[in-house]
A and B are shown apart, each in its own frame.
Chain A
Amino acid sequence: MKAVLATLLATACLAGCGGGSSMTVPAAPPAQPSGISFTVFTKQLLRIDSDSAQPTPVTSAQFVFPDDDNPQAFADVLPAV
């Protein structure tokens, strides 16, 4: 179970953080929030319908909201169900 949770959080975090390294970028890009993509995290949670699953700990999770301005966000989330 711990492995599943770690994967879930790691996947969401990677999606939220984006790729690349600032070390290769000569000029600092616009501030990119770091953390766990709330959209990805939510999609993954919504796929879980097991009665035996354990809740995912989120006490120290830092969420980012990359879809605040995405008009398709809800439609994107629903297919996860």
Chain B
Amino acid sequence: MNRRTIRGVLACAAASLSLTALASSHREAPFIAGQPKVDGTDFYLFRSYEPGRSDYVTFIANYNPLQDAYGGPNYFTLDPKALYEIRIDNNGDSKADLSFQFRFSNTYKNLTVNAGGQNVAVPLTNIGPVDVAGGNLNLTQSYTIELVRGDPRTGVHQQVSNATLGGQTFYKPVDNIGMKSIANYPAYAANFVYSATIPGCATPGRVFVGQRKDGFVVNLGEIFDLVNLNPVGPRDGAPNTIPDKNVTSIALEVPIACLTHGNDPVIGAWTTASLRQAAVLNPDPEHSDDGDGVRVHGGAWTQVSRLGMPLVNEVVIGLPDKNRFNSSDPSHDAQFLTYVTNPSLPVLLNALFGSAAQPPGTPREDLVTIFLTGVKGLNQPQNVTPAEMLRLNTAIAPTPPASQNDLGVLGGDLAGFPNGRRPYDDVVDITLRAAMGALCGKVGNCGSMTTDPNNGLPYTDGARAAGPDAANAHVSGAESPTDFYLDGFPYLLDPFPGSPHGATVSP
């Protein structure tokens, strides 16, 4: 075996050893950018605003970013060799007390056709129209869910049951291949919303895992091109640059009573993805029934993705530490404190826009409050250890969709970001304004500054989701000029179809 081959044979063990990753957004860290199946892109946490469900909290963890709907024939399954988690801290100590762990399995049917007297395996995902039974599907993906109380690795594991189908197996709908394969994708996908019996929880929750339209709205290309836009222009003057992308959502709804601890209504949450520490590449993959056979895995679960508050690893953590952040636990966040107290983003914006973007003083106590402790009286736990995660005060009633303000708390809507995060919240604009000092003196000082040095300038990336308070938002490409989101679980729109090209989705 030559040098090149042995490197391939033994390669991946080292790859996942010291390289780690978190994902606060799409492709935000060097390592995770090459591992889309475990790249967490967005994490949502909010009291359910679907009518009749206000006693529940919804978590949505998105993975596998920037999917083009036509990406067949393999489309965008989740990784059966990965461990996906939604972790919850319900006592403010920065450590997970509850973890919902999702593990996926692939079942290949090895569908064949008779070709000249020979039964030959087909190369496609489906060989006919797809229904809920999936008879024409070559691959189905199922999953199980465990609830872990205590440490995610050594705590008590209990199985979540499928109250809809019975048993402990749940199924993921195939991606939206196209309208000839699946004529009515919303109706098809609705069959995969399950009632879930959660151990120790008197009332069942709900779960859905499947492809959705990416609900994140952002002027992405311009931001990373030296903020090639007018940062104080109209909020809806630029197109969403990812209007036609899909994503894979892990959506879970749990009764509030099963999440909180004692009389503290505040919970913190984040999502992680982990891979086995070693993976060996097989230089001679064999025919296999599970479609893999190219890799052998072993070793401890090694976290490669972490996402709580949006945009943290994307625009707060420095490039040399992005992989490290992705592998880290909130309980060790002191190592990243300087990135929050002395952020680079305001300095960069000042360099680009001069007096239109005055950098607030440091250290940034306001950002410590927003990102690490929560705001006292809003979403700060009764006893809090500073750590980065989304924090939600479950005692604050949800705002109905028709009344939501996409600036969240900054817009006077206390049920929105940073008190949790809803799909409609414009976290880019909110984060820009907070970073530039909108809350200086209100939730903490900015060095010696006790007021906003930019006097409330309405910073924006110019891209905005259409919604109840943005009826005229700029839409482009395949986007619908109506509401960008569903008003009920799983809240994100059904995905764009792979065909016909250019087809739209609507609520």
Contact = CB atoms under 8 A, between A and B. Distances in A.
Contacts of B9: 67, 73-74, 77
B335 interface: no
User: Which range holds the interface residue count of chain A?
Assistant: 20 to 34
A38 B8 CA distance: 12
Interface of A: 38-39, 41-42, 45-56, 58-59, 61, 63, 65, 67-74, 77-78, 80-81
Contact of A65 (B6, B280, B283): B6
Contacts of A80: 298
A54 B153 contact: yes
A53 B300 contact: yes
A69 B2 CA distance: 5
B14 A55 contact: no
B395 interface: no
Given A67-B6, A68-B6, A74-B9, A53 B1 contact: no
A46 B278 contact: yes
B14 A46 contact: no
Nearest to A67: B6
Interface string B289-305: 00000001111111000
Nearest to A39: B10
Nearest to A70: B1
Interface in B1-58: 1-3, 6-7, 9-10, 13-14, 17-18
Contacts, number: 93
A74 B282 contact: yes
Interface residues of B, number: 27
B154 interface: yes
Interface of B: 1-3, 6-7, 9-10, 13-14, 17-18, 153-154, 157, 277-278, 280, 282-284, 296-302
Contacts of A51: 153, 157, 301
Nearest to B103: A51
B300 A46 contact: no
A73 B10 contact: yes
A52 B153 contact: yes
Contact of A71 (B1, B298, B300, B301): B1
27 contacts: A38-B13, A41-B13, A45-B278, A45-B298, A46-B280, A46-B296, A46-B297, A47-B298, A51-B301, A52-B154, A53-B299, A54-B300, A55-B300, A55-B302, A56-B17, A58-B14, A67-B1, A68-B1, A68-B6, A72-B1, A73-B6, A74-B1, A74-B9, A74-B282, A77-B296, A80-B298, A81-B296
